[in-house]
Amino acid sequence: MPKRTDLKKILIIGSGPIVIGQACEFDYSGAQACKALRKEGYEVVLINSNPATIMTDPELADQTYVEPLSLAYATEVIRKERPHAVLSTVGGQTALNLAVELAESGVLEQYNVELIGAKIDAIKKAEDRLLFKDAMRKIGLDMTQSQLVNNIEDGLEFADRIGYPIILRPSFTLGGTGGGIAYNREELVEILERGIDLSPVHEVLVEESVLGWKEYELEVMRDLAGNGIIVCSIENFDPMGVHTGDSITVAPAQTLTDREYQMMRDAALRCLNEIGVDTGGSNVQFAINPENGRMVIVEMNPRVSRSSALASKATGFPIAKIAAKLAVGYRLDEIRNDITRATPACFEPTIDYVVVKIPRWQFEKFPGAEPVLGTQMKSVGEVMAIGRTFKQALGKGLRSLETGKSSGAKSLDPELIAKRLITPNPDRLDYVRFAFTRGYTVEQVHEMTSIDPWFLRQVSEVVVLEQSLANRPLASISAKEFRKLKRDGLGDRQIAEMIGAQPMDVRAARKQLGIRAVFNRVDTCAAEFESFTPYLYSSYESEDESEPTTRKKVMILGSGPNRIGQGIEFDYCCCHASFALQDFGYESIMVNCNPETVSTDYDTSDRLYFEPLTQEEVLNIYDIEQPDGIIVQFGGQTPLNLAIPLKDLGLPIIGTDPSDIDLAEDRKLFGKLLAELNIPSPPHGSATSVEEACETARGLGFPVLVRPSYVLGGRAMVIAYNEDTVRRYMHEATSFSVKRPVLIDRFLEDATEVDVDALCDKENVLIAGIMEHIEEAGVHSGDSSCVLPAISLKPETIRTIEDYTGKLARALNVVGLMNVQYAIKDSEVYVLEVNPRASRTVPFVSKATGVPLPKIAVGLMLGKKLNEFTHLTDGIVNGTLPVTHYFVKSPVFPFGKFPGVDPALGPEMRSTGEVMGVGASFGEAFAKAQLAAGTPIPNGGALFISVNDRDKPAAVAVAAKFREFGFELFATRGTAMALKQAGLPCKTVFKVNEGRPNAVDWIKAGKLNLVIYTTTGSHSFPDEQTIRRNAVTYRTPCITTMSGARAAAEAIASRHRDPLRVWSLQELHAGEAIHVTTA
């Protein structure tokens, strides 16, 4: 069947902001779908609230709506655009849910829009547990037995029938609160009682335990003709009980015979058929009892997923791209395999290497959350590594994680071994390795972890190999031994640590002996056919397949695994760098190890190296490619950490000089520079000891901001109001050294923060955006909402900012992008931080202004000048780019995944993603951004307000506005008094320790619609934390700053005033600029 011609215009739904469990893999799939459908000649309309994505680039769709993924806004887009079809299967669960809403509300029918990819019945059958169970039973597939119960007796009866252990999951509790595993009758009664009580519907799912079973996943594709293929099999290193997203996973499956694998394959295809997925990609998860091979189907997703992104990268088979083509009627055998060119996409990829995915967690950012892994995903990112063997891939994967820890077996606490092995946790693999160094056997570790003995044996062999190096002189290691070490995945640094040498000496020694990396291709076919796509990974085999060209070329170092503070925004910049290089006639070479991203799509760059971003691996690539330049300023901190060492080795870093980048981080030198330029900054100092820190802080005067150097995302950053906090911080919170001192700044309370992105060619400085933060200084810039253009700055303040930015850019010899953070207090502008590199806000500013900042930056790095880009900047070479509307960027937080964590905002960044709202006024844009971020501001109802004394005057003004909009006011005693004095009627609510019913009881009862609760400054009282935590748990919007409260009031005003409307980026960029400078 050729493609459908009855469809002309297709709406693609994106996945919205990056959250835990739904990250940039959907930018990858969505971008592929957009590209594939446009290439087929369809008009593509896109809705996605996430501005940091490649898919929302105006070039990728005909009309791009960065609007909230809500029923109302999606309906408005459909009403305006009248698409013929909606593709719902490339935007994760968010898109699928929205498609269901659109169908069920009758919108699709009303506007005669067809759902393509997965039909509504199929979606429901796959998503509804009971329907799914029935469907699987019908086709004879085994599932775990389970039952919903609302009393103890039924639970006991079930357990008697099934046997212990029993898993209990209370319905609708946040983060699975109240659930557990009962190993006996007594525990069952206890957990069940608690669960029934905690569940809002007083219901608990009791389920047969499959903990410790082997876990598998198959990625399946099917076309309208009924042809089905398995793209990839994945086996989890961590057995059942750990969410797949939190498991180390391996492709292909390693421990299944063909009989068992084919049984699973048959089951997966039958499952797709029965669910009714008529085209596209799906994944099906299975568990297998290692004792007897009993196989149960765990779940299926009728859409592309995180695992399908992984499978695409692991095999070279682009699932989302092909899914999009299948959705418009193509058959699998009508689509060509891009990599072999000669063969069709209707086949099953076979691979001659092993792929390992390892998650990356950040529990350290969420004090109070227990670092254990279970059925709810907690990781914020992942890496993938490709090696010729499992050992090699695992070693490379561990290096890719950039945890700062060495990838060898570490010395840990022997007392903790049993505990850390038995209960899954982020450090489990470290403990497995440690256990092997302590003489544990594979059998012992298997008993405690249930990890398959094959995997454990592999890990133990590497540990033994590594230990055998102890005390070996470097010169004594033979070529044969080096070959073995490198083939088993040991890094030069790891070898160096074991033998007490320098990594570069190890490198030199082995290269001297002829042991050097070669590159193999990912080709979907295990070399059976020729590959035309330079998608490469390193190995220590005997033949190099990289075939570098002799073109002019530039290598881009990517940003590695997603983590809070370094996420999709940097991948966006790297991808654009690649596109720009191609535009300028250069060959682009991408290096990255994050399987979720667009940058690791083999379609993005001329050449892709799927490699860890370590000095060793980057040098390997450099040796082969000999690029003319290396770009380090787009990938966040990861490539910057490599910049100086690479430059010292003589590698051609282009753009701003690494020593200038470094200068901005060096407090002393930077302070000197600011003084020379006569630019004020908050008084500051640095310290390399506890005493020095206290002394510095005293000298500066409290409060002070304390942080380590060289980190992104405000890791381990605190505001200290007294010496005790400083002392505690220096003792506990961080590591520091003479090379990397702790930085201490005077903290400017109640200042307004401003973020500036600029481009510089050493002569001219183009300011791309001056963004005003909604939250005051003290909240990490990544966690603060911000608005473009600035709304409350005076013209002279803006002029000062422009002036300082220009001076700084020139002084730092910036070539490319630069970001500056300012604080404005009492009309005085202070520089907080300068980062001469791409910042987190680059994609947002690019979307808002319509000017492709990374592209121009790359041009500048290649030696072009700003005045060569006037066609992109509307003629502007100096000064600030205009915008046509108000654009608000709002963060999205993962607090729902970390019960027990205080959601108050602070200097440590904790948001995982962002959204953009656009409006004709600030209020409209802010309202949209908040809705898109999943924290919609209610139009009316009960407002609970409790603020510290300092905020009381402001609170009165804000409360009066809310009152105007019809809100009923509730307040704690002090605030209530202030409100009443101002003539605002309000009810007094008890604080938690004052009696009951208190504020928390009110939240739990669902009687409050909005909470405004500011912090008391020096430290949060337990009382405040309880209220904020409960607001998160019960999904009551909670605002923790006064500026946030004022913005919310403006948002509500807009809702009362403005119609619901949407703009595509293409329309916005064609519009007239607005000029707003004063409040």
Partner 1 sequence: MNQAVLALEDGSIFEGTSFGAPVQKTGEVVFNTAITGYQEIFTDPSYCGQIVVLTNPQIGNYGANSSDCEAPHPYIEGLVVREISPVASNWRSSDKAEHFLAQYGIPVIADVDTRRLVRLLRDRGALRGVIATGEHDLDQLVQIARNSPSMTGQNLVSRVSTANAYSWTDGVEPVSPSEKAVAPDDARFHVVAYDYGIKRNILRHLVQIGSRLTVVPADTSAVDVLSLKPDGVFLSNGPGDPEPLERQSGEVRQLIGKVPVFGICLGHQILGLAFGGKTYKLKFGHHGANHPVLNYKTGKVEITSQNHGFCVDPDSLRDSEVEITHMNLNDNTVEGMRHCSEPVFCVQYHPEAAPGPHDSHYLFRDFAALMNENKR
Stretch that binds partner 1, among 107-115, 338-346, 395-403, 892-900 (CB under 8 A): 338-346
Contacts of 1030 (CB under 8 A, 6+ apart): 1000, 1003, 1004, 1036
Query: In the set 30, 92, 252, 685, which binds partner 1 (CB under 8 A)?
Result: 252
Structure tokens at 403: 């945890």
Would you count residue 735 as binding partner 1 (CB under 8 A)?
no
Q: How far is the CB of 342 from partner 1 (least distance, A)?
A: 7
Would you count residue 7 as binding partner 1 (CB under 8 A)?
no
Stretch that binds partner 1, among 95-103, 124-132, 470-478, 536-544 (CB under 8 A): 536-544
Would you count residue 263 as binding partner 1 (CB under 8 A)?
yes
Question: Using CA atoms, how far apart are residues 428 and 664, in angstroms rounded to an integer?
Answer: 38
DSSP3 helix / strand / coil % (the chain, rounded to 5): 40, 20, 40
Closer to partner 1 by Cβ: residue 542 or 678: 542
Stretch that binds partner 1, among 85-93, 246-254, 399-407, 777-785 (CB under 8 A): 246-254
Backbone conformation region of residue 983, classed left if phi is above 0, alpha if psi is from -120 to 50, else beta: left
Query: In the set 37, 168, 314, 332, which binds partner 1 (CB under 8 A)?
Result: 332
Would you count residue 547 as binding partner 1 (CB under 8 A)?
no
Closer to partner 1 by Cβ: residue 443 or 732: 443
Q: Identify the H or E element spanning 169.
A: strand 166-170
Residue count, binding to partner 1 (CB under 8 A)? 65
User: Parallel, antiparallel, or unpaired: how do β-strands 653-654 and 718-720 relate?
Assistant: unpaired
Would you count residue 985 as binding partner 1 (CB under 8 A)?
no
Q: How far is the CB of 310 from partner 1 (least distance, A)?
A: 17
Smallest Cα–Cα separation from 639: which of 560, 741, 736, 740? 560
Closer to partner 1 by Cβ: residue 18 or 296: 296
Contacts of 956 (CB under 8 A, 6+ apart): 978, 979, 982, 984
- By CB under 8 A, the residues from 1033 to 1062 that bind partner 1 are none
Angle, CA 591 vertex, CA 590 and CA 595 arms, to 5°:
100
Residue 628 φ then ψ, to 5°: -80, -20
Peptide bond into 789 cis (omega under 30): yes
Query: In the set 10, 256, 744, 771, which binds partner 1 (CB under 8 A)?
Result: 256
Would you count residue 813 as binding partner 1 (CB under 8 A)?
no
Stretch that binds partner 1, among 351-359, 417-425, 774-782, 958-966 (CB under 8 A): 351-359
Query: In the set 145, 184, 262, 502, which binds partner 1 (CB under 8 A)?
Result: 262
- By CB under 8 A, the residues from 387 to 406 that bind partner 1 are 388-390
Would you count residue 644 as binding partner 1 (CB under 8 A)?
no
8-state DSSP, 447: H
- By CB under 8 A, the residues from 185 to 214 that bind partner 1 are none
Would you count residue 830 as binding partner 1 (CB under 8 A)?
no
User: Parallel, antiparallel, or unpaired: how do β-strands 204-208 and 166-170 relate?
Assistant: antiparallel
Stretch that binds partner 1, among 342-350, 471-479, 615-623, 811-819 (CB under 8 A): 342-350
Angle, CA 889 vertex, CA 885 and CA 890 arms, to 5°:
140
Query: In the set 134, 413, 541, 796, which binds partner 1 (CB under 8 A)?
Result: 541
Tell whether the torsion through CA atoms of 17, 23, 24 and 28 is positive or negative. negative
Contacts of 120 (CB under 8 A, 6+ apart): 99, 100, 103, 104
Would you count residue 481 as binding partner 1 (CB under 8 A)?
no
Query: In the set 128, 333, 949, 994, which binds partner 1 (CB under 8 A)?
Result: 333
Query: In the set 291, 415, 732, 826, which binds partner 1 (CB under 8 A)?
Result: 291
Question: Using CA atoms, how far apart are residues 226 and 425, in angstroms rounded to an integer?
Answer: 42
Question: Using CA atoms, how far apart are residues 1006 and 96, in angstroms rounded to an integer?
Answer: 28
Query: In the set 254, 709, 792, 988, which binds partner 1 (CB under 8 A)?
Result: 254
Stretch that binds partner 1, among 84-92, 226-234, 904-912, 1035-1043 (CB under 8 A): 226-234
Structure tokens at 297: 């189907």
- By CB under 8 A, the residues from 434 to 453 that bind partner 1 are 442, 452-453
Would you count residue 6 as binding partner 1 (CB under 8 A)?
no
SS3 329: coil
Closer to partner 1 by Cβ: residue 390 or 869: 390
User: Parallel, antiparallel, or unpaired: how do β-strands 1010-1013 and 942-946 relate?
Assistant: parallel
Structure tokens at 683: 């008084």
Largest CA distance in the chain: 86
Stretch that binds partner 1, among 176-184, 189-197, 285-293, 994-1002 (CB under 8 A): 285-293
Contacts of 833 (CB under 8 A, 6+ apart): 664, 820, 821
Query: In the set 342, 1005, 1070, 1073, which binds partner 1 (CB under 8 A)?
Result: 342
Closer to partner 1 by Cβ: residue 65 or 519: 519
Question: Using CA atoms, how far apart are residues 928 and 361, in angstroms rounded to an integer?
Answer: 30
Question: Using CA atoms, how far apart are residues 849 and 370, in angstroms rounded to an integer?
Answer: 42
Q: How far is the CB of 534 from partner 1 (least distance, A)?
A: 15
Would you count residue 257 as binding partner 1 (CB under 8 A)?
yes
Question: Using CA atoms, how far apart are residues 666 and 743, in angstroms rounded to an integer?
Answer: 9
Bridge partner list, 288: 214, 295
- By CB under 8 A, the residues from 450 to 469 that bind partner 1 are 452-454, 457, 461
Q: Identify the H or E element spanning 960.
A: helix 952-964
Query: In the set 354, 589, 619, 697, which binds partner 1 (CB under 8 A)?
Result: 354
Q: How far is the CB of 905 from partner 1 (least distance, A)?
A: 48
Q: How far is the CB of 269 from partner 1 (least distance, A)?
A: 9
Query: In the set 229, 319, 417, 876, which binds partner 1 (CB under 8 A)?
Result: 229
Query: In the set 255, 444, 582, 1077, which binds partner 1 (CB under 8 A)?
Result: 255
Residue span 568-607 as binding mask against partner 1, x where in contact by CB under 8 A, dash where not: ----------------------------------------
8-state DSSP, 411: P
Stretch that binds partner 1, among 186-194, 340-348, 426-434, 507-515 (CB under 8 A): 340-348
Query: In the set 140, 163, 404, 985, which binds partner 1 (CB under 8 A)?
Result: 140
> Integer distance in angstroms from the first to the last C-alpha of the chain?
60
Would you count residue 5 as binding partner 1 (CB under 8 A)?
no
Would you count residue 408 as binding partner 1 (CB under 8 A)?
no
Closer to partner 1 by Cβ: residue 376 or 392: 392
| Burial group, residue 212, by CB count within 10 angstroms (0-12, 13-18, 19+) | middle
CA distances from 507 to 70, 476, 494, 496, 1044 (A): 54, 14, 11, 9, 53
Closer to partner 1 by Cβ: residue 116 or 253: 253
Stretch that binds partner 1, among 286-294, 368-376, 508-516, 860-868 (CB under 8 A): 286-294
Would you count residue 237 as binding partner 1 (CB under 8 A)?
no
Contacts of 924 (CB under 8 A, 6+ apart): 886, 917, 1051, 1054, 1058
Place of tokens 């009696």: 995
Contacts of 1035 (CB under 8 A, 6+ apart): none
Closer to partner 1 by Cβ: residue 523 or 611: 523
Contacts of 1070 (CB under 8 A, 6+ apart): none
Smallest Cα–Cα separation from 395: which of 490, 306, 531? 490
Query: In the set 296, 876, 881, 976, which binds partner 1 (CB under 8 A)?
Result: 296
Position 980, amino acid: K
List residues binding partner 1 (CB under 8 A).
140-142, 225-227, 229, 233, 252-263, 265-266, 288, 290-296, 332-333, 342-344, 346-354, 388-390, 442, 452-454, 457, 461, 487, 520, 525-530, 541-543, 545
